[in-house]
Structures are given as structure tokens and as C-alpha cells.
Amino acid sequence: MVELSFTINEMLSKNLELIIPQLEELTRSLFPEILKIYQNPRSNAQEKKDGSPVTAADMYAHKVIVKFLKKHFPDIPVVSEESFKQKNYKPAEEFWIIDPIDGTKEFVNKSDEFTTNIALIQNGKPILGVVGAPAFDRVWSGVANQTTQKKKADAKKRTILRIVSSRSHRTVIDTAFLNFLDKKRKRLKIISKGSSLKICALADKKADIYPRFGPTSEWDIAAADAVLRSRGGGIFQIENHKPLEYGKKDSILNPMFIAISNLNEKKAILSLIGGFSKNLL
């Protein structure tokens, strides 16, 4: 792996994209061992104190990613799902946030839909993100303030609204939202996916929206959020329509949100979900 010889401040002043190839290489280097564990019939998930599952793949990816980031960016804190403690959490203005394996349930259930996630947060915003999908040999990356796809002056009127839905965490509210859209005479296509692949589907323009009414943590979303922002999309809080914020002092959990593939459609989609959510908030 190429050695990095610049500090984070130098990186930011020059070009954030300087770090992308190294993080992509790091991400791909995780794939063989993760897949080895994934394909081992004897590998089992353990239960953490909060009741969520954790596997040897989670811990392997956690150790490798944290070691890399601490070596090359020793002055930047690393927040990881596998070592996080809310009571000791003092968010910095700038920090890495990682989810070594997002979609552990998908990992355990052998659905292939699990990801590795690395994001850099600055002043509450995800400015860089890398998402890896070992089972699909795929990596997504992006710098949030450098959109790679040109925006069109007017959004095309859609005849079908493509909605990404959680494969493992669909709720009663999700069903109610679909019923609400049906009453609005919206033609729908439901796309079920696990982990941060839901947001990556928006980045790939394979879906239009991803509403999330259930709980998620910052590390679940940050990397894919940065990728989505880099491709002309965004994620917004349902309550106030503001972008998701990271590094909150009171809780690592995200509020309810709506992810949108194309910001040209932001106004119409936020208006639509506002009509539904006014009875929830």
C-alpha cells in the first residue's frame, strides 16, 4: 500500500481526493479475509451487550481500519461501532467514523448485502466516504463537495417512484408510508436491500428515495452519505428538512430521515414526505 506523507490539513488544503485511492485500496484489502470468514460454515455471530450481533469479520475489519487510520492520521480521532461508548464520547470537529461491517444480520443470513464503511467528518458534515461490498467486489467513494454528475435544469417527471426499503428492518411505519403513497396514486417500485447498499443504490441512480423511520447510528450512514452527496443527492432529517448531522453530543443515533437520489427532486419529495410525517412528529 502506498505510504501517505501528508497531514490531514495539507490534504484538505490540496485535494481530498488524494486520500481516496488509498482508502479504496485499504477497503479492497479487507475483502479476502472477510469473505473467508463469511464462507466458513463454522463462523458464528456473538451477541454484544446491546443485543446486536458481532462476528469475527467485524472485529477483523475494525482492527485493520483503525490501525491504518491511526498510523497515517494520528491526530484525528476514530469512532468505530466496535469500540464506541456513549458515556465517554466527546465528539471532535474532525474525526473518522467507521462501521467495519454494516449489515451484520445480512452477513449472518448469507444474503451478501453487507458493507465496510469509512467516512471523514468535519464540522458535522461527511466530507469523504468509502463503502465496500466484499460479496459483490464493489467499492463506492466520493468527496461530498465535489459532485461528479452534472445537475439538469429540471428534474424529469417520474411515472414510477423507486423506493429502497430495508431488507431486515421494515417497520409498521414503513408500511404505512407505502399505503400513504398508494392513496396518492403513486406508482411504486419497492427495492429491498441491506446495509448501506440502500444509499449506494441511490448514488447509482438505481432508486429515487430511501425513507428511514427506524433507528440508525451515525456510522451506518456517514460514508454512504458522503458518496451520495458527491453524486448529486443528499440525506435530510424528516422533522426539519436539514441535512443529517454527525458528531452530536447527546446521541450517536440519527433522527428519521429521507435520502434522495437527485436534489432536483428535493422540494417535491420533502413536500410529499411532509404530508405523511406531520402525524408522526
Whether 250 is covered by a domain: the verdict is yes
CATH code of residue 100 = 3.30.540.10
17 and 138 in a common domain: yes
165 and 246 in a common domain: yes
CATH code of residue 172 = 3.40.190.80
> Does 99 belong to an annotated binding site?
yes
Whether 1 is covered by a domain: the verdict is no
Whether 148 is covered by a domain: the verdict is no
189 and 108 in a common domain: no
**pLDDT of the residue at 157:** 62
Whether 154 is covered by a domain: the verdict is no
195 and 117 in a common domain: no
pLDDT in tens, the chain (281 residues): 555 545 555 555 457 888 999 999 999 999 999 999 999 988 888 888 877 889 999 999 999 999 999 999 999 999 999 999 887 888 899 999 999 999 999 999 999 999 999 999 999 999 999 999 999 999 999 999 876 555 444 445 668 999 999 877 778 999 999 999 988 877 999 999 999 999 999 999 999 999 999 999 999 999 999 999 999 999 999 999 999 999 998 999 999 999 999 999 999 999 999 999 887 76
Whether 97 is covered by a domain: the verdict is yes
> Does 182 belong to an annotated binding site?
no
Whether 122 is covered by a domain: the verdict is yes
Range of 18's domain?
8-143
Whether 150 is covered by a domain: the verdict is no
123 and 32 in a common domain: yes
Of the three residues 80, 109, 143, the one that is the final residue of a domain is 143
Domains in the chain, number: 2
89 and 169 in a common domain: no
Give the pTM.
0.92
18 and 136 in a common domain: yes
138 and 165 in a common domain: no
Written as nine digits, the cell of 245 is 448531522
Of the three residues 86, 110, 143, the one that is the final residue of a domain is 143
What number of residues does the chain have? 281
133 and 34 in a common domain: yes
177 and 127 in a common domain: no
269 and 183 in a common domain: yes
**pLDDT of the residue at 145:** 80
> Does 221 belong to an annotated binding site?
no
**pLDDT of the residue at 153:** 40
**pLDDT of the residue at 243:** 98
Which residue type is seen at 156? K
Of the three residues 115, 143, 171, the one that is the final residue of a domain is 143
227 and 127 in a common domain: no
